[in-house]
Amino acid sequence: MTGANDQVEKFLQALVGELAIPVSRYEQAETSYKSLGDWFHRPESTVRNFDPAVYVQGSFRLGTAIRPISDAEEYDVDSVCELKKLTKNELTQFDLKQLLGHEIKAYHDAKGMTKPVREGRRCWILSYADGAQFHMDVLPSLPNGSEQRLLLERAQFDARWADTAIAITDRDVPTYRVRTANWPRSNPKGYGEWFKSRMASVLARRKQVLVESLKRQGVTASVEKLPDYRVRTPLQAAVMLLKRHRDNTFIGEPDLKPISVIITTLAGHAYGEQDTISGALFSILEGMDRYLRHDGTKYIIANPTDPFENFADRWEKDPRKAKAFFRWLEQARQDFGRAAHATTLQRMNEAVSARMGTALTDRAVTKINGNGGGLLRTPSAAPAVAIPTFGNAPRVPTTPKGFA
């Protein structure tokens, strides 16, 4: 059975390799948001005195970004601009968005960017040149850590991630133009730290292996200074696979597509620190729905950093979304389960190609064959994983991992 398991792992490694974005894309994203931060701090800046801090959020922060399905699509780099020396008592959401929008438009003009700045519901959108193939969403925000900590502690919720909480703009809320303390909330730094905590030991081991490898090549490196995106954990790889499977499953009905934060959160809870992609993926597929809660009227997938936020809130308004999630999960179990039981690469390919993309799976098989059929190189050795079975046992919600 071990030989078959090794082949499954090899196949999944190759799929992830084809999905993964180049390190240069992470570096490009970092350069872009740092450039914008420098602009906000220039002497003429109208927001300089408010101590603006720009940082990345979303899949680029989590290390789960994947290549677009086609060259016609763009990478979406989500960033935040937090004005650390402003408070909600001093302006409205509208005021903050316009204040930051003025500087973003000036940056756009100064850099000779041709595509116009667009305004989204919550953010400003900077579109780069066609060759760059990405755009950056810039979310205006203010610090909200102390208020968030107080809110969570009063409710006896876990407040360990509260200090990096932010208040954000949203033009669809009734208080958008009203000066009030009641702003929409978020915590991308806190969520990133929660996700990282779910894979901390594996991440540390893999970074250490890479540092030692670089040192043998004569490259000075340290675990502390090595960016997280230089290595990939099985949890990150599993999320990448599930996101692409989701994308193709709902290519004809995008409104029903489960949002990435739901997949990422449930995967983070269900991950059991496995050292292989296959072990992580099948553990997640087997258990992720156990971390859904139903209170009798609605499904709840709580934000690990803010349990008052329900990532599944749209399911209550549109019950089709909940049904779509369970339909997708069952399909993923079937597809990856068939791949796990297959005895040849071709059978594995056939099991997942319809929803992973034929071009992608064919490239993965070609890469394996070109590698002499051996295991693809990984940052650390990993034991074989058992072939999965997805039974029909009743799903009993439990306390999600990462909560007190």
pLDDT at 355 over 70: yes
pLDDT at 106 over 50: yes
What is the percent of the chain with per-residue pLDDT over 70, rounded to a whole number? Answer: 90
**Fold of the 23-190 domain:** Beta Polymerase; domain 2 (3.30.460)
Using CA atoms, how far apart are residues 191 and 173, in angstroms rounded to an integer? 23
pLDDT in tens, 90-101: 999 999 999 999
Return the minimum-mean-pLDDT range out of 12-16, 49-53, 366-370: 366-370
**CA separation, residue 26 to residues 82, 104, 246, 391 (Å):** 21, 21, 23, 39
Which residues 6+ apart lie within 8 Å of 349 measured at CB? 11, 361, 362, 364, 365
pLDDT at 130 over 70: no
Kindly state the average pLDDT of the residues 306-319: 95
DSSP 181: S
pLDDT at 264 over 90: yes
**Residue for token pair 């004005």:** 83
pLDDT at 4 over 70: no
Are the beta carbons of 173 and 122 closer than 8 angstroms?
Answer: no
pLDDT in tens, 279-291: 999 999 999 999 9
The pLDDT of residue 388 is: 57
pLDDT at 204 over 90: no
- Identify the bridge partners of residue 122 per DSSP, sorted by sequence position: none
The pLDDT of residue 371 is: 73
| Beta-strand pair 134-143/75-83 | parallel
Kindly state the average pLDDT of the residues 295-319: 95
Burial class (CB in 10 A: 0-12, 13-18, 19+), 350: middle
The pLDDT of residue 220 is: 80
The pLDDT of residue 165 is: 98
Please state the domain extents for the chain.
Answer: 1-20+232-404, 23-190, 198-228
The pLDDT of residue 18 is: 96
The chain-wide mean pLDDT, for the chain, equals: 89
> Between the CA atoms of 106, 111, 115 and 119, what dihedral angle is there, to the nearest 10 degrees?
-30
Is 227 or 211 the better-scoring residue by pLDDT?
211
